[in-house]
Amino acid sequence: MNLHLWLIPILPLVGAAIDGLFGRRFSRQTVAAIALGACGAAFAMALWVAARFSALELPHVETLATWMRAGGFHADFAFYLDQLSLVMLLVVTGVGFLIHIYSVGYMWEEGGFYRFFAYLNLFMFFMLTLVLASNYLLMFIGWEGVGLASYLLIGFWFTKDSAASAGKKAFIVNRIGDFGFLIALFLLIKHFGSLDFATVFSSVPAFANAGNEQLLTAIGLLLMVGAAGKSAQLPLYVWLPDAMEGPTPVSALIHAATMVTAGVYMVARSHVIFDHSPLALSVVAMVGTLTALFAATIGVCQTDIKKVLAYSTISQLGYMFMACGVAAYSAGIFHLMTHAFFKGLLFLAAGSVIHAVGGEQDMRKMGGLRDRIPWTFWTMTAATFAIAGFPPFAGFFSKDEILWQAYSSPYGSWVYWLIGVFTAFLTSFYMFRLWFMTFFGEYRGGEASGHDQHSRTGMSAPHAPHTHESPKIMLIPLAILAALSVCGGWIGSERFAKFLEPATGSLPAVEAASEHIGQSSSEVLFTGISVAAAVLGLYLAWLLYRRRPELPKKIAAALGGFYQAVLNKYWVDELYAVLFVKPLVDGSSKILWHGIDQNVIDATLDNSAEGAREVSDSIRHMQSGNLRSYAGWIAAGAAAVIVYMFWTGSR
Amino acid sequence: MIHLTIFSIFAVICVAGAVNLLVQRHPINGALSLVVVMGSLAVEYLLLGAEFLAAVQVIVYAGAIMVLFIFVIMLLNAGVEEQTKGSRVAILLGIPGMLVGSLLLSWVLLEHSGTQAVAAGALPGSPRVIGWLLFHDFLLPFEVTSVLVLIAIMGAVVLAARPEAAQEKRKG
Amino acid sequence: MNVETFILVSVIKIVLAVIVLLTAVAYTVWLERKVVGHIQNRWGPTRVGPFGLLQPLADGVKFIFKEDLTPPHVYKPLYIAAPMIALTFALSSIAVIPFGNTISIGGIQTPLQITDINIGLLVVLGITSLGVYGVALAGWSSNSKYSLLGGLRASAQMVSYEIALGLSLIGVLIMAGSFSLRDIVNAQSGHFWGFIPRWNIFQGQIVAFFIYLIAAYAETNRVPFDLPEAETELVAGYHTEYSAMKFAMFFMAEYANMITVACLASLLFLGGWHGPLFGPPILQALLPLFWFGLRVFVFLFIYIWVRGTLPRFRYDQLMAFGWKFLLPLAIANLVVTALIVALRA
Amino acid sequence: MVPLSYYLILSGVLFACGVTGFLIKRNIITIFMSIELMLNGVNLSFVAFAAQWHALSGQVFVFFVMVVAAAESAVGLAIIIAVYRTRETLNVDKVNLLRL
């Protein structure tokens, strides 16, 4: 059966091309219609594919054309559909479509409307290519392409210096990860002769049995470097908070729901490699766990509403990697899906809040918005409860599954679980802190500050100073995502794991559970503990930010240095600047520019030019200007050539 | 035998024409001897079977290019060649070089291709076959040369136009 | 057919053709004088013989006995060679022109043509293109400004119009798919719907025919394109300095060229020797010759008619007309013909 | 039957004559004609080799050479006219401004 999978990524590309090339002359309605049409068509196509999914023979590969062929190596434009890519496909197109709708309302007043939608559609193209690719090379194209789209969208307001440099930062940090990814690809080519998923994965077990675990570990670790760059894990997470300079729908789509999860998808996709390399797997788990904790602690002190969400995203991505690290890939993907719902919703709702208060992002200047923007409030409430892990919201199921797997998996350990539970508590705390600060209490924003913020974010039309609810076109996606955040987890992690099993391998813990039925009681206990952690976070947030608002300052003063460290994000950016950026800048300007470029390369050229001039000065007298003399030289030269050929030929 | 006789007759005419080109001091005689060379070469082409080429040789070379030469000679009223000594290199270097090269080449040709012989009309190059080749196998070179000719036409017009005339036209 | 009979037949054909051609040349001159005379309300030659029919003979005798002047300061070798070149090339193209179908006399099959070669048309074109030399060399070698200007004009004009002429023929070539004049004529046999002959002129080559007609006038230096010998400006153009038999050679060459052009027009556009055949076998054998001769005559008559009617062009008009109108038109005709043939195939 | 080498020798002689003409002639038009002579010599060898190897592309190549020669002579003669207009001479020994 030919599903014409290539249409799914191509449709947004067509939309991007039309909007990008001709959008300047179109009206906003036309631009939005084209972008929504392209994205909606891709979503409809994905649903159609999903409807036919059960009839397919999996994995379903559709080869479009040969891309390159070099010696024994060849790569195709081929698309690969299995359970994993179907889930990603639905999440990307579905959430992407909702965010497209939301963006129409959010970006309506902005300049460069057509540019925004062209970029957004371009992103969809690359993301879908990434998800549907049937080999690492095509995946890498998508991987780089989403990086490009992310760069373009972070720097959407490129006249603003901070946005432009945030875009560059995202791009450069991602390069480090991509470097690792590329080397992993080179190793794969060298040792497997192919980048095709099916070929590589089928030959991995034999390869591992032949005593090449170290090599597989190296490949796995390098892939993890790539994933860490794209998914903002330690130590390459620094770009994601800065990426919040982009428009909020971008943060929702790219930096929460889809692109940053590409790393998780890639690790899950490559699970065969990781399964054969326990060391790489535990590195993944450790990185994920530490990132989750680390980002959560920073999130506690942030005051910018989007920054809190950004650190929260990093932390949740850490959860996903923790799940992958204990070989519970389906749990990671499950969390990826629910996270896409509630974190996309959180960002969109935050965007709605920012929209409502006229561009203000500082939570300290919000408050009491509950009554003024009820739709946003209720949807955001759903998302907050979901991320905090309250049953029966979506986040509860996925996070609980991850924590349980972290403990019970053969690769797991109680340390992971402990840190995970503590992080869950922190998550609950900072999310409810955000919730209370934004929606409860008194409105703390000044009338004038709104205008300042307008110009800062590039919002062209000044809003009325009073807060107001967002237009319907923004609220409908919020409502749909809210419904998904509530119900999205009801599939149940075990059914989800069963569904994904052919693609991600069977859960170790599921096997374990089937062997030891007695463990189910302990699972209930663990669930209780994680719910308790969430409730504790809620209580603490209520205590500190609702009941006794003077307490946080005291605590901060009491903690002193540690509080400062957390507030300044552990000075990681500053550390990187001293360690990497400054040596690079100094080295390239002093050694490369002044030293090598000027003294060696330029000097060589200057000297050789001087020499050539001198030599030609002396022999230019051969040019008599007489045509016949030139002919004489030619004849003599031709004779010389003939003599030479004769001489070489006669030997 | 008849083949060789015809070949020899026209080869002699050909070489005589070529030598005459060198000997004659007036360019119009040179041009006419070149026409003779080309005409007899057309006969040699016919002997080899290249009938289309023979016709084209006459039409293009003798009928168009050489007419152009004679036209220019008439237009510029070119007189008898002056005998100036402008270039020692041409005599001292060029002539010996030419002699060495051609002697070596002749020796090689005589030595290494003497046994092969070509029959009269060995390869019939009828217009149909040549046309087929030109418009199928050599379509791109054909088109490129047509562009080249177009450029040459424009170049000739630009170069030969009197600067004053061109300026007047621009003014008017 | 063995070699001896071949040579014999060929010699007979050559002699016959040359005699016929020279006679035709002579009587074309007579015809011209007569027709132009009537157009101009005169009688033309009447004194020598009935209707002045012996006038060409008298002219010939006169040319032979005139003093053959060679002006001083001419470049003698070329001055003498030029009229010969002109006449030689003008006469030799008759060698490939077919006059009729293959006939059989006494068991010997032979085409009514000195030699039938498969690139006949190319040969005719080649020979006519060489005809320029006679005119150009005559103009140059006479060492006279009138001659030089006449020669320059003639060579430029002939080279220019040769292109339009050649391009107008290519349409016919595409229709016939051959360079052989005999094949081209045979491709025009038969009728459309039983009564319209399948001549090329009725097969869409009418534009090509008129291009050919105009270019042919220029090629033969005839009115309205007789600038090389425009008597009001250049005395007599390239043959100003010639007299007696040398002048007669140019004269004959001009008329021989006219006849060649007329033959080509008949063969290429007007269906050659095809026409209704009837009567006894002898008549059936001779009728094609008659039909062919009739066409040539009509064409020549038009030539003379035009001469009696139209004024002379200015030289820049001539060049502009040739390059800017005739040539593009010929190319357009070529493209259209090629398209039609390709689509029909 | 004529040996191939005869054709080649003939073409070589023509070429050599052309080279010599280029070297010894002073009139720029004659020099130009010498170039044409060389081209003709080369053309003959093309046709001879075509007959020898039964490859019609040799004849096609001659066709191209002719076209290029036509283009070349058109431009070249235009150059000669332009040169004559400024220098009033056709002697190449006197057209040597392009020297040091």
**Can you give the pLDDT at residue A464?**
42
Q: Is residue D99 part of a domain?
A: no
For A369-382, what is the mean pLDDT?
Answer: 85
- Residue A509 confidence (pLDDT) above 60: no
Q: Rounded to an integer, what distance in angstroms lies between the CA atom of residue A412 and that of residue A69?
A: 42
Instruction: Tell me whether residues C132 and B52 touch, CB distance under 8 A.
Output: no
Instruction: Tell me whether residues C136 and B63 touch, CB distance under 8 A.
Output: no
Q: Does chain C touch chain A (at least 3 C-beta pairs within 8 Å)? A: no
- Residue A452 confidence (pLDDT) above 50: no
Where does residue B117 fall: left (phi above 0), alpha (psi -120 to 50 degrees), or beta otherwise? beta
Q: Rounded to an integer, what distance in angstroms lies between the CA atom of residue A204 and that of residue A187?
A: 13
The CATH number linked to D90 is: 1.10.287.3510
Minimal Cα distance from B27: which residue of D? D30
For helices A519-542 and A374-388, what crossing angle results, to 10°? 140
Neighbours, chain A (3 or more CB pairs < 8 A): B, D
| Residue A458 confidence class, pLDDT cut points 50, 70, 90 | very low
| Residue A129 confidence class, pLDDT cut points 50, 70, 90 | very high
Q: From the CA of B93, how many Å to the nearest CA of chain A?
A: 6
Instruction: Tell me whether residues A629 and B96 touch, CB distance under 8 A.
Output: no
Q: Rounded to an integer, what distance in angstroms lies between the CA atom of residue A117 and that of residue A99?
A: 11
Instruction: Tell me whether residues A625 and D98 touch, CB distance under 8 A.
Output: yes
Q: What's the burial of C274, exposed, middle or buried (CB within 10 Å: 0-12/13-18/19+)?
A: buried
Q: Is B21 on the interface with C (CB under 8 A)?
A: no
**Can you give the pLDDT at residue A514?**
46
For A333-340, what is the mean pLDDT?
Answer: 90
Interface probe, candidates C3, C116, C159, C316, chain B, greatest B C-beta count within 10 A: C159
- The residue among A543 and A626 whose pLDDT is bigger is A543
| Residue B172 confidence class, pLDDT cut points 50, 70, 90 | low
DSSP C278-335: -SSHHHHHHHHHHHHHHHHHHHHHHHHHHHHHPPPPPHHHHHHIIIIIIHHHHHHHHH
Percent of chain A with pLDDT over 70: 94
- What residues have CB less than 8 Å from A21, skipping those under 6 apart? none
Q: In terms of DSSP H, where are the helices of A302-373?
A: 305-325, 329-356
Backbone angles phi, psi at C110, to 5 degrees: -150, 140
Contact B52, C122 (CB under 8 A): yes
For A410-417, what is the mean pLDDT?
Answer: 84
**Average pLDDT of every residue of chain D:** 84
Instruction: Tell me whether residues D96 and A625 touch, CB distance under 8 A.
Output: yes
User: Which candidate, C220, C206, C200, C229, places its Cα nearest to that of C306?
Assistant: C220
Neighbours, chain B (3 or more CB pairs < 8 A): A, C, D
User: Which candidate, A62, A38, A187, A44, places its Cα nearest to that of A117?
Assistant: A38
CB-nearest partner of D92 from A620, A628, A632: A628
- Residue B121 confidence (pLDDT) above 80: no
Q: Does chain C touch chain B (at least 3 C-beta pairs within 8 Å)? A: yes
* Backbone CA torsion sign across B156, B159, B160, B162: positive
Instruction: Tell me whether residues D81 and B65 touch, CB distance under 8 A.
Output: no
| Residue A212 confidence class, pLDDT cut points 50, 70, 90 | confident
- What residues have CB less than 8 Å from A1, skipping those under 6 apart? A52, A55, A56, A60
Q: Rounded to an integer, what distance in angstroms lies between the CA atom of residue C169 and that of residue C173?
A: 6
Q: Which letter does DSSP use for residue A469 in this model?
A: P
Instruction: Tell me whether residues D92 and A623 touch, CB distance under 8 A.
Output: no
Minimal Cα distance from C82: which residue of B? B32
Regions of chain C short of the pLDDT cut 50: none
User: Which candidate, A371, A501, A374, places its Cα nearest to that of A441?
Assistant: A371
Virtual torsion, Cα B114, B117, B118, B119, nearest 10 deg: 150
Q: In terms of DSSP H, where are the helices of A505-550?
A: 508-515, 519-542
Q: Which of residues 30-49 of B touch C (CB under 8 A)?
A: 32, 35
Q: Which residues pair with C100 in a beta bridge?
A: C112
CA angle A567, A571, A576 (to 5 degrees): 150
Q: Rounded to an integer, what distance in angstroms lies between the CA atom of residue A95 and that of residue A46?
A: 12
| Residue A484 confidence class, pLDDT cut points 50, 70, 90 | confident
Q: Rounded to an integer, what distance in angstroms lies between the CA atom of residue A334 and that of residue A344?
A: 15
Whole-prediction pTM: 0.56
Q: Rounded to an integer, what distance in angstroms lies between the CA atom of residue A573 and that of residue A575?
A: 5
Number of B/C CB contacts below 8 angstroms equals 68
**Can you give the pLDDT at residue C176?**
82
Domain ranges, ordered by start, for chain B: 2-125, 138-172
**Average pLDDT of every residue of chain B:** 82
- The residue among A91 and B112 whose pLDDT is bigger is A91
**Can you give the pLDDT at residue A450?**
42
Backbone angles phi, psi at A40, to 5 degrees: -65, -40
Backbone angles phi, psi at B153, to 5 degrees: -60, -50
Where does residue A527 fall: left (phi above 0), alpha (psi -120 to 50 degrees), or beta otherwise? alpha
What is the CB neighbour count within 10 angstroms for residue A213?
17
Q: Which residues pair with A61 in a beta bridge?
A: A80
Backbone angles phi, psi at C271, to 5 degrees: 85, 10
CB-nearest partner of D62 from B31, B53, B94: B53
**Can you give the pLDDT at residue A646?**
83
Count the residues in chain C.
345
- Residue A651 confidence (pLDDT) above 90: no
CA C336 to chain centre: 27
Q: Which two structure tokens, joined as six digits, stand for A426?
A: 């922190």
CB-nearest partner of C155 from B35, B52, B67: B67
- The letter for the amino acid at A527 is T
Q: Which two structure tokens, joined as six digits, stand for A490?
A: 């009801």
- What residues have CB less than 8 Å from C63, skipping those under 6 apart? C244, C245, C247, C248
Instruction: Tell me whether residues D74 and B119 touch, CB distance under 8 A.
Output: no
Q: From the CA of D32, how many Å to the nearest CA of chain B?
A: 9
- What residues have CB less than 8 Å from C130, skipping those under 6 apart? B58, B62, B63, C85, C89
Q: Which two structure tokens, joined as six digits, stand for A450?
A: 């709104």
For A517-521, what is the mean pLDDT?
Answer: 57
Minimal Cα distance from B108: which residue of A? A646
Q: In terms of DSSP H, where are the helices of A409-458?
A: 414-439, 449-457
- What residues have CB less than 8 Å from B136, skipping those under 6 apart? none
For A608-620, what is the mean pLDDT?
Answer: 86
Q: Rounded to an integer, what distance in angstroms lies between the CA atom of residue A152 and that of residue C310?
A: 76
Q: Rounded to an integer, what distance in angstroms lies between the CA atom of residue A95 and that of residue A255?
A: 13
Instruction: Tell me whether residues A633 and B89 touch, CB distance under 8 A.
Output: yes
Q: Which of residues 234-273 of C touch B (CB under 8 A)?
A: none
| Residue B137 confidence class, pLDDT cut points 50, 70, 90 | confident
Query: Under CATH, which architecture does the B2-125 domain have?
Result: Up-down Bundle (1.20)
| Location of structure tokens 């790219």 | A254
- Residue A293 confidence (pLDDT) above 70: yes
For B92-113, what is the mean pLDDT?
Answer: 80
For A187-194, what is the mean pLDDT?
Answer: 87
Q: Is B73 on the interface with C (CB under 8 A)?
A: yes
Instruction: Tell me whether residues B148 and D26 touch, CB distance under 8 A.
Output: no
Q: Is C301 on the interface with B (CB under 8 A)?
A: no
**Can you give the pLDDT at residue A459?**
44
Q: Is residue D100 part of a domain?
A: no
Minimal Cα distance from D15: which residue of A? A635
**Can you give the pLDDT at residue C220?**
84
Q: Rounded to an integer, what distance in angstroms lies between the CA atom of residue A21 and that of residue A43?
A: 23
Half-sphere exposure of A534 (CA within 13 A, CB side): 19
Q: Is D19 on the interface with A (CB under 8 A)?
A: yes
For A585-595, what is the mean pLDDT?
Answer: 81
- The residue among A560 and A221 whose pLDDT is bigger is A221
The pLDDT tens digits for A192-207 are 888 888 888 888 888 8
Q: How many domains does chain D have?
A: 1
What is the CB neighbour count within 10 angstroms for residue A210?
9
- The letter for the amino acid at C199 is W
Q: From the CA of B123, how many Å to the nearest CA of chain D?
A: 5
- The letter for the amino acid at A581 is V
Q: Is D42 on the interface with B (CB under 8 A)?
A: no
**Can you give the pLDDT at residue A519?**
57
Q: Does chain D touch chain A (at least 3 C-beta pairs within 8 Å)? A: yes
**Can you give the pLDDT at residue A60?**
84
Chain C residues whose CB is inside 8 A of the B38 CB are: none
- What residues have CB less than 8 Å from A519, skipping those under 6 apart? A408, A512, A513
Interface probe, candidates A621, A626, A630, A634, chain D, greatest D C-beta count within 10 A: A626
**Can you give the pLDDT at residue B170?**
61
Instruction: Tell me whether residues C136 and B56 touch, CB distance under 8 A.
Output: no
- Residue A635 confidence (pLDDT) above 80: yes
Q: Is D95 on the interface with B (CB under 8 A)?
A: no
Instruction: Tell me whether residues B86 and D51 touch, CB distance under 8 A.
Output: no
Contact A265, A84 (CB under 8 A): yes
Cα–Cα separations (whole angstroms), residue C58 to A449, C30, C54, C259: 120, 11, 6, 21
What is the CB neighbour count within 10 angstroms for residue A584?
10
